[in-house]
Homo-oligomer: A and B are copies of this chain.
């Protein structure tokens, strides 16, 4: 088994020596051994690991995350490769969307059309990273709702979640208000709130059709995980919201 010095590894992998030092420092990639003089000696297994590191780095993962991924013994090398392939594909898809958006912009410019502010930034929401914990995709990655929500939520940072939560809270307080004011669930106001609720989901998670929204309404009554949320706000609210969602779906369909 041959060994390599930092410089050799650096030139093979096309990274700088400093980078290798850094990876050693933070424990991401420590060489198999050292010479008596203290020179780092990398082995073939270290090269393999470095390759993996560079793959994930190229895909935008922070080094800490990469360490966690690679040190997870429950994942076989083959699975790693599959995962990488999946991630790359996702990234490619995203870039293709970007390209399409650029083409779109070119056409709009030619025709002298003005895009709305929201339109202009649509593509930036979609992302290429996904939760490496769930080994999903391939066969069923074509279900749109899943793809969408996964793509979107995966990219949300703290501020996004705070924003979503803030929107949710404001929506909820409006729900409570209308409910406590005694508005019937099939009133115009209630239906509008239900519609806002649906849009909130569509905007932030996945395309929520009336069909799916109806299902959600049923869940709010049926599943205690959801019921608790609304019943804590106001007793009877879960039922009321459910009815409002139904009325709204009926009304718009």
Contact = CB atoms under 8 A, between A and B. Distances in A.
Nearest to A143: B221
Interface residues of A, number: 98
Given A145-B221, A154-B145, A163-B11, A228 B99 contact: no
Main secondary structure, interface of A, reads helix
A170 interface: no
Interface in A26-58: 44, 47-48, 51, 54-55, 57-58
A141 B161 contact: yes
Nearest to A153: B145
B98 A88 contact: yes
Given A141-B154, A155-B224, A208-B222, 18 more contacts: A12-B118, A57-B134, A81-B105, A85-B99, A88-B95, A92-B96, A95-B95, A129-B140, A131-B142, A131-B146, A135-B232, A139-B156, A145-B221, A145-B222, A149-B224, A155-B225, A212-B215, A215-B216
